[in-house]
Structure 1
């Protein structure tokens, strides 16, 4: 049974959740036009950076800027259709100008839900600044003229570090950052449970990092805000890590106070595990399975055998079957040894928080012993195979090597790519177009492994974990 000693009063939780943020109603789709003057960390961009952000023809950066900016201006939306906001606010535009007195951002026909009495909500404005900052940095520092060798492990890791440092997300504090993974499409009971876990983490002085969207990405942050307030924590961190293909489908939730947009899913995943002092996995769908396999692909490597890295799978009592399915899939594909890297705790937020707190202490001791930094785990060995961006095309999906006899870390890398392609086909613009043009992705492999994969995916569909609303049409076909 759950230890209720520190959890919020159930009646209070129920009442609070009845008033929880729903997708903001656009009403008549009202819009506002205004200009912003960023302060702190984004006062100045070079002429080259501004030109790239404004250039709609040569590099396509302007369209990317529009798409990401519109996503944060509709913060709080629970839609997972990346095209919905663009269709509703089809006259929206953003312009970045460098002036003598600083940077100016003009918003044209922006969603009125981001404003109060004509003034943009402060937190939303900060997210807009983060979009401009990160896209400008990626365009200039990681573009075609970059000095880094992005075909090497060291070069790619350095690029992740530099993006996070540029975003001021790396701070020399004692280890206390817990990454929470989980789905955007979860049940109400699962969402409340994520809040309860976040509350227990917050009481113990732990900060939260998630994928920044709704559902299991929002709940832990929301629970932690109450606990941090009770503990009078002055500067709690609610870090959201996303990437351009995801942000339009999963707008940042309103609690995120540090948003970082990584250039692709692989750098986003590396940022999670380099920053994390522990990871909690809540119920989710294909994206959560991708994250689990990515991490297990790292932890099952011999080079990381001595690594201290607390990992917990958790959910309410009704989610026990979900984690049994995940556990069975891991055993059926990666083998029994892979299961030693995680612990399953069901329906006990206090036990989860205590386990994480204890694990973070061990991480601190381990980092001191290895002389590694607290804010970025340089010792973690991540192979180039897990760092290279994977393009979810039909040819790439069909060529994945999903057969037994491979090293667990190598097999995990290709299984991760399979789920990455499914995520793209579900919610990313390029994936949606690929499936519309050529039909479902075809995934081949060992018949027994395909049986395990098909069973897991069918359970996700049956439990409505693939899509927030509407009927789900699979973007994949499992071929035996």
Structure 2
């Protein structure tokens, strides 16, 4: 074991470990070309591997600043080596918290292997010479399918996967409530998929884990779906046993919708609002009018005003029709689980009738405007068309981008760099809509839903 040099802003050097790991079960068949691309510094792939690996090696961290881990472990490095009979991962100055008596924790090792696997797939299959069509809707969906299949997420079993969305920065009462809901879901044999981080992403998994143990479920799934810009700020929680890293936020959101059989939304901040708008924008399309997709907003009694404000914002922006696609249940975990179980039963019946797969929702129509990556720059944020008179799904797409930009400014390195260089993003639009948006964002700030630690400095300005 070695010790990293002292980093300004931290009280003492943190213990580090040098280790050599030999993966198995899928990773042992990486080609020499895949390994070479992961080691390539000129393309930025090695730096991406290093940042994602550091995130999983600090699993359980409560920081949501993507630069914190890099400041704490500035000398960390990872090298992947191809060998004639397999492969080897060398870790230099790795966080000591990932090891016990010199051995890497098994769950952390699995997450680390997932990082290598997904980035190798991305480098080859989604690279310039990968041959995949990433300019068409069908091509992007095919890429999402390929990533999920390569990660062994797709299982031909009865529908039972509940996606849980919610904030990483929530109150203790809200966190306990997410565990209670997860427990009720687990008792009914439902598995959990979240964004894999802390807060409302950890609670449902923790509750379900206890319930699954009581019901003696041998192979429960706790799926974490993330992307490189998020994972550095929201390290996976230790309960995740299936991790998949999608290339960008749009493919991450599509993955949730394609593999989930129902979605529960807990209190959260701008990231949660982005997810809600993404899903409603899809479900409000005529092509998806008859598609069963249970969507429940829920939280403890203290969170009722939060959902009332979300509900008002959705009614004002997307219209009353939006309310037909979700239900709000307050302070009743058992009722949430019962409603979700009944909703998934309808999903199963619909999939059988339509001859659609149980493990991947091919039937849902996701237009290209929801799939194309949005790069939040000052110009792109100012150009968003946030005015009344547009079709609900079209307005939802741009509102989603607005929230996505704020997420980037809050927790993603590139977005934070834009803010440091040029100041806050400016968001323009219809006066009444901007007033409602500003009130919602102010509430997120006052309720400390933007950041886990420290005072929040807004990365945006709302302009009517």
Q: TM-score, normalised by structure 1?
A: 0.94
CA distance in 1, matches of 2:435, 2:356: 42
Establish whether residue 258 from structure 1 lines up as the match of residue 242 from structure 2: yes
CA distance in 2, matches of 1:410, 1:383: 10
CA distance in 1, matches of 2:34, 2:426: 40
The answer for the alignment partner of 2:275 in structure 1 is 291
Match of 1:51 among 36, 46, 50: 36
CA distance in 1, matches of 2:173, 2:180: 11
CA distance in 2, matches of 1:99, 1:376: 35
Structure 1 residue 146: Cα displacement? 2.2
CA RMSD of aligned residues (A): 0.9
Establish whether residue 441 from structure 1 lines up as the match of residue 428 from structure 2: no
Structure 1 segment 193-204 matched on structure 2, within 5 A: 193-204=177-188
Change (3 A) 1:459 1:31: same
CA distance in 2, matches of 1:63, 1:116: 26
Establish whether residue 190 from structure 1 lines up as the match of residue 139 from structure 2: no
Structure 1 segment 3-42 matched on structure 2, within 5 A: 28-42=13-27
Match of 1:353 among 325, 334, 337: 337
The answer for the alignment partner of 2:5 in structure 1 is none
The answer for the alignment partner of 1:114 in structure 2 is 98
The answer for the alignment partner of 2:251 in structure 1 is 267
The answer for the alignment partner of 1:206 in structure 2 is 190
CA distance in 2, matches of 1:224, 1:45: 34
SS state at 1:406 partner:
coil
Establish whether residue 378 from structure 1 lines up as the match of residue 362 from structure 2: yes
SS state at 1:105 partner:
strand
SS state at 1:283 partner:
coil
SS state at 2:192 partner:
strand
Structure 1 residue 26: Cα displacement? 10
User: Gaps spanning 5+ residues in structure 1: where?
Assistant: 1-24
Establish whether residue 400 from structure 1 lines up as the match of residue 412 from structure 2: no
CA distance in 2, matches of 1:461, 1:145: 44
Establish whether residue 159 from structure 1 lines up as the match of residue 143 from structure 2: yes
CA distance in 1, matches of 2:13, 2:300: 39
Cα deviations by residue, 1:397-441 (Å, 9 ceiling, x for unpaired): 000000001000000000000000000000000000000011000
Match of 2:292 among 305, 308, 316: 308
Q: TM-score, normalised by structure 2?
A: 0.97
The answer for the alignment partner of 1:426 in structure 2 is 410
CA distance in 2, matches of 1:219, 1:174: 24
The answer for the alignment partner of 2:215 in structure 1 is 231
CA distance in 1, matches of 2:378, 2:34: 34
The answer for the alignment partner of 2:318 in structure 1 is 334
SS state at 1:391 partner:
coil
SS state at 1:91 partner:
coil
Structure 1 segment 240-259 matched on structure 2, within 5 A: 240-259=224-243
The answer for the alignment partner of 2:308 in structure 1 is 324
Structure 1 residue 101: Cα displacement? 1.4
The answer for the alignment partner of 1:12 in structure 2 is none
CA distance in 2, matches of 1:140, 1:412: 33
User: Gaps spanning 5+ residues in structure 2: where?
Assistant: 1-9
Structure 1 residue 28: Cα displacement? 4.0
Match of 2:265 among 281, 286, 289: 281
The answer for the alignment partner of 1:101 in structure 2 is 85
CA distance in 2, matches of 1:329, 1:405: 16
